[in-house]
Chains A and B, each alone.
Chain A
Amino acid sequence: MRSTSPLPTVPPAERHRGRRTWFMLIHVGKGLAGILGLVLLYEGARATGILPRDTIPGAHSIATTAVRELLDGSLTTAAGDTLQAWVLGLAAACAVGVPVGMALGASSWADSLAKVTVEFLRPVPAVALVPVAVVSFGLDIIMQVFLVGFACLWPVLIGTRHGVRAIDPLMIDSARMLGLTRRAVLTRVSLPATLPAIATGVRLAASLGVIVAVAAEIVTGSPGLGQYLTQAQQAGDDAAAFASVLMSGLLGLAVNILFVAAEVRVAGWQQHSTEGRR
């Protein structure tokens, strides 16, 4: 997505427009062929018995079940529930992570004070807190929001902190010298300069959030795609179970495309970061 497109560069002249659409079509065609290859690989693994046929349904029945359940609303509701927990959790993580990250990046004393606590809490796998969250919040959506929020907090916080750290001190000094108040430096220099790092952190957090939301639903049975999956499985409806996996994959894909696009918009001017992808 962010990599250089393998398309040859076509001059934007009018007479080349037809060729460009042709190249685009070939590009899309290759992608569709890739997806088709994946489906064939899956069917091949079923046919040869690598994947057991009795519990793993065929691609056709998964697709028809997915469409049917989407239309009758049961899968749509489940996806909506997961989406809700994810959005609220991510929003909460940003609301806490961005200001705290900026404070830790700007003040080395604040950073030293919080260091041990952050270093200890950050590697805690969010799903390990599922039982704690259930005991404290019950099976409501609050529980899911807490878990998603905890998981999303760290990439956002650490990304913001790194972003503030990486600001060239010269920019701050220049702004101060030009008579900006500390508050103005924060909102007009530090924040815009940190935005790319924040965007990267939020993108990492967003895809982690989907994983944690689905995991929490599977373990606790609170409503969402994870719960839909376990219920379908208990009812012996393997096609529906796979339909929900397909749906969660599409949801994750949509989240990714959205955030990569947003990041390019917000931070397209900036050089690539080494913060990593996920």
Chain B
Amino acid sequence: MTMHETRKAPPKGVPFRPRGRSRVRGLTVVRAVAGMAVFALLLFAWELAGRHDTTGLLPPFSDVAAEMAAILTGERLTTDVLPSVLRALLGFALGSVIGMTAGVVLGWWRRLDPWLRPPVEFLRAVPTPALVPIAVVAFGAGNALRVWVIALGACWPVLLNTMDGLRRVEPGYIDSARVYTSGRTTAVLGRAALPAALPQITSGLRIGLALSLILMVISEMIASSSGLGYLILQSQRLYALTPMYAGVLILACTGWLLTLLFSAAERRALVWFEGMKGRNHA
């Protein structure tokens, strides 16, 4: 797809597809393979660099991959990897619910805004990792604490985007909903305002997911004895570089998989929006 391509109107009855999807299928496959080849080439470069490395700081990729397989098939899967992922997901879910609820309150009842905006802006600006050492001292380092820390960090982008999204809903939609539904706040919110704000809410959720992973790692690096973050930090302190890189690679794969799942869910939820995007700018 070049930038010079002019946009053609979609035929009647066919849902609008964004540019780039309508490409010849064969070419798409070639491109996908080329992308994977570049990635494989990078891994190969890592392998070569590792083999010829004399400082001992960079283990070759094959060693790291073998170590990664050993961790994923050994008992560390159930003691470190899965609990980590579970905590991140739980925290993300909890934070999303909190963020959306608060976001709806702040976005819908605008009179609250001048009162609540300054404290909210301050609280969300506090870097959540800074709260981890304090919370560990105050409440002790347990599973619940880690989940709450992740929730606390993940809730802000969800809150802000829900709030902003609701405020930017076209007033006409809300007025129509007032007329065509029972007119109660719940009906207007559920039938018109929230669906209209969904694209922005999902971009908040996406940022929240990325933050959940960061906080998961951080919460396991401080005052912990298990988890992926603990695994990589401990390996580094023991100078066991192969397990360290293996842990980083597992984290990378976890993030990649979770993002993939999220994108799939997002595509399902926002099918209607993909079509809108092209039309708005036309």
Interface, chain A (partner B; CB < 8 A): 1-4, 6, 27, 30-35, 37-38, 51-52, 55-56, 106, 108-109, 112-117, 119-132, 134-136, 164, 166-170, 172-173, 176, 204, 207, 210-212, 214-215, 218-219, 225-226, 229-230, 233, 238, 241-242, 244-245, 248-253, 255-256, 272, 274-278
Contacts and interface: CB of A to CB of B under 8 A. Distances in A.
Contact of A30 (B115, B132, B216): B115
Contacts of A52: 138-139
A43 B133 CA distance: 20
A219 B39 contact: no
A182 B232 CA distance: 47
Contact of A248 (B39, B126, B228, B236): B126
Contact of B252 (A114, A120, A242): A120
Contacts of B218: 127, 215, 218-219
Contacts of B274: none
B276 to A, nearest CB: 11
B137 A6 contact: no
A218 B115 contact: no
Given A6-B113, A123-B252, A218-B222, A112 B34 contact: yes
B49 interface: no
A278 B156 CA distance: 7
Contacts of A55: 137-138
A222 B110 CA distance: 43
Q: How many interface residues does chain B have, given as a range?
A: 35 or more
B125 interface: yes
The B interface, classified by DSSP as helix, strand, loop or mixed, is helix
A95 to B, nearest CB: 21
A124 B133 CA distance: 23
A225 B126 CA distance: 12
B170 to A, nearest CB: 12
A69 B5 CA distance: 60
Given A3-B167, A169-B3, A211-B214, A124 B251 contact: yes
Given A218-B132, A275-B203, 16 more contacts: A1-B121, A37-B119, A38-B122, A120-B252, A123-B213, A126-B214, A127-B218, A128-B248, A130-B221, A132-B236, A135-B241, A136-B57, A172-B3, A214-B127, A218-B218, A249-B123
Interface of B: 1-7, 20, 31-32, 34-36, 38-39, 42, 57, 110-111, 113-119, 121-134, 137-139, 156-157, 160-161, 164, 167-168, 199-200, 203-204, 206-207, 210-211, 213-214, 216-218, 221-222, 228-229, 232-233, 235-236, 241, 244-245, 247-248, 251-252, 255-256, 258-259, 281
